[in-house]
Amino acid sequence: MLQPIIFIAVTAAAFWLAGKNFLRIRRNILLGKDTPVEEPLGAGGRGNSSERWRNVLLIAFGQKKMFARPIPAIFHFFIYAAFLLTQIELIEILLDGVTGHHRMIGAYLGGFYTFVISFIEILSVLAFVATVIFLVRRNILRIARFHKPEMKGWPTKDANLILLGEILLLIGIFSMNGADQVLQSMGAEHYPQTGNFLVSSSLGPAIFGGMSEGALHIVERFGWWLHILVVYGFLIYLSISKHLHIILAFPNTYFAKLQPKGEFTNMPEIQREVASMMNPEPGAAPVAEPEAEISFGANDVTKLNWKNLLDAYTCTECGRCSSVCPANLTGKKLSPRKIMMDVRDRVEEVAAGMDAAKSATPIDDGKTLFDYISREEIHACTTCNACVEACPVLIDPLDIILQLRRHEILMESAGPSDWLPLFNSLENSQAAWAVSSERDAWKHF
């Protein structure tokens, strides 16, 4: 009975620590302001649930946008499918760990159990092949988008650690199943007959066939514990890894904007001012100024909306956005991936300050997002939406760039000098070009 007690204690500790980390991430995301997804049905808001669930099923669950690049998408699908179906075996490990039984699901499913585990083993072999290929692509072939300046240091180590973790999981699965198959053939006690698993029935005898029953018990338990401990380690590690997208991709695609990608959000305060200028009502009382100071755009994470921060935590750092960005491709400093990574780093910095001060609200540390993202970067953006279109989980770096620009121009009266003629023309003649006639005198042909 010692093993179930140890297992329950380890499981409780892992879930407690992981839950604590995920609650912290939730708090960090909610540091952002309310977001336009609160708009009613028909305005692209949360109410349009059918289209939102369609996005979740096709894009998050179905990996639809990954297949814009079919070769890496196929290998990614091997790992993804193995990850999903291996949860069946993981559920059995959890049940066995708590009850002290061995392969208790197999007793109820019979031949179907053999088929399911065999299918999982095939996917696991394909996942192993894909993992090796991804390691080669990153570290030997050195695909360009994985070696941009923002990927130096921890981001590269993070990706490699996860891939190495995948290999450890596979070692655990095949050590457990392979030794189990040999023990079954020996008629060992506590190892019920489950039929021949497609891979382990050959791999097990080939590797472990000459071992004694006692040694096989050790190998089987080693594989069992290795698998579950790597899973628990991965669950805890997710909170500091780009692989958090495994969880957050689903809410992120659900809450993604439904409006056409070329449609930018307006600022209600400016809309009201323009409306009062264009359609003044004679004798109307002046509108009272709001007590709170109006702020346009955003210069820090607390002035972005929570969906922007969810985007930042969901970012997979795959670099597809930067690889299609025309500014990045022409050698300019802008990288949409770096924008998302910078926002996440800034959120973590703000959160660390709150934790250190034991405060429920952000502490003014004298820094802003402009300490992470340079003016040159946001000026280089052409607002072409290529990054938004390329993202496999519907992240929108452009919205953050636009909010930074709006703050710079409307709150700081700053910006590139070559933009000033445009602003002056808009202010004086309500047109992008300085024309001599009034705009309402223009004719359409």
State the chain's mean pLDDT as an integer.
Answer: 89
- pTM, full prediction: 0.89
Write down the pLDDT at residue 38: 44
Better-scored residue on pLDDT, 443 or 354: 354
**Angular region, 287: left φ>0, alpha ψ -120 to 50, beta rest:** beta
Which of 331, 344, 307 has the alpha carbon at shortest distance from 149? 331
Q: Identify the band that residue 271 occupies on the pLDDT scale cut at 50, 70 and 90.
A: confident
Average pLDDT score over residue span 92-115: 89
Which of 225, 189, 183 has the alpha carbon at shortest distance from 204? 183
Which of 367, 432, 378, 370 has the alpha carbon at shortest distance from 402? 378
Average pLDDT score over residue span 56-81: 94
Residues 340-357 pLDDT 10s: 999 999 999 999 999 999
Q: Judge residue 322's burial from the number of C-beta atoms within 10 Å of its C-beta, 0-12 exposed, 13-18 middle, 19 or more buried.
A: buried
Write down the pLDDT at residue 442: 61
Highest mean pLDDT among 1-5, 38-42, 53-57: 53-57
Average pLDDT score over residue span 308-323: 96
How far out from the chain centre does Cα 362 lie? 24
Residues 365-375 pLDDT 10s: 999 999 999 99
Q: Identify the band that residue 439 occupies on the pLDDT scale cut at 50, 70 and 90.
A: low
Average pLDDT score over residue span 71-84: 94
Average pLDDT score over residue span 184-204: 91
Where do the structural domains in the chain lie, given as residue ranges? 2-30+47-254, 268-274+296-434
Q: Identify the band that residue 47 occupies on the pLDDT scale cut at 50, 70 and 90.
A: low
Better-scored residue on pLDDT, 321 or 39: 321
The three-state (H, E, C) secondary structure of 119-133, written as one string: HHHHHHHHHHHHHHH
Which of 11, 28, 51, 107 has the alpha carbon at shortest distance from 314? 28
Average pLDDT score over residue span 89-115: 89
Of the candidate CATH numbers 3.40.710, 1.10.3470, 3.90.320, 1.10.1060, the domain formed by 268-274+296-434 belongs to: 1.10.1060
* Contact residues for 14 (Cβ-Cβ < 8 A; gap 6+): 232, 235, 236
In the predicted model, is pLDDT for residue 37 greater than 70? no
Write down the pLDDT at residue 369: 97
Q: Please tell me whether residue 149 adopts helix, strand or coil conformation.
A: helix
Average pLDDT score over residue span 8-16: 96
> Of the ranges 142-156, 275-289, 297-311, 403-417, which one carries the lowest mean pLDDT score?
275-289
In the predicted model, is pLDDT for residue 275 greater than 90? no
Q: Please tell me whether residue 142 adopts helix, strand or coil conformation.
A: coil
Q: Please tell me whether residue 169 adopts helix, strand or coil conformation.
A: helix
Distance (Å, whole) CA 244 – CA 393: 12
Q: Identify the band that residue 277 occupies on the pLDDT scale cut at 50, 70 and 90.
A: confident
Average pLDDT score over residue span 141-167: 94
Write down the pLDDT at residue 252: 96
Tell me the H-state helices in 58-110: 70-99, 106-109
Distance (Å, whole) CA 127 – CA 134: 10
Other beta carbons less than 10 A from residue 314's beta carbon: 28
In the predicted model, is pLDDT for residue 417 greater than 90? no
Write down the pLDDT at residue 267: 81
- Cα–Cα distances (Å) from 374 to 185, 200, 327, in that order, read 65, 54, 14
Better-scored residue on pLDDT, 189 or 303: 303
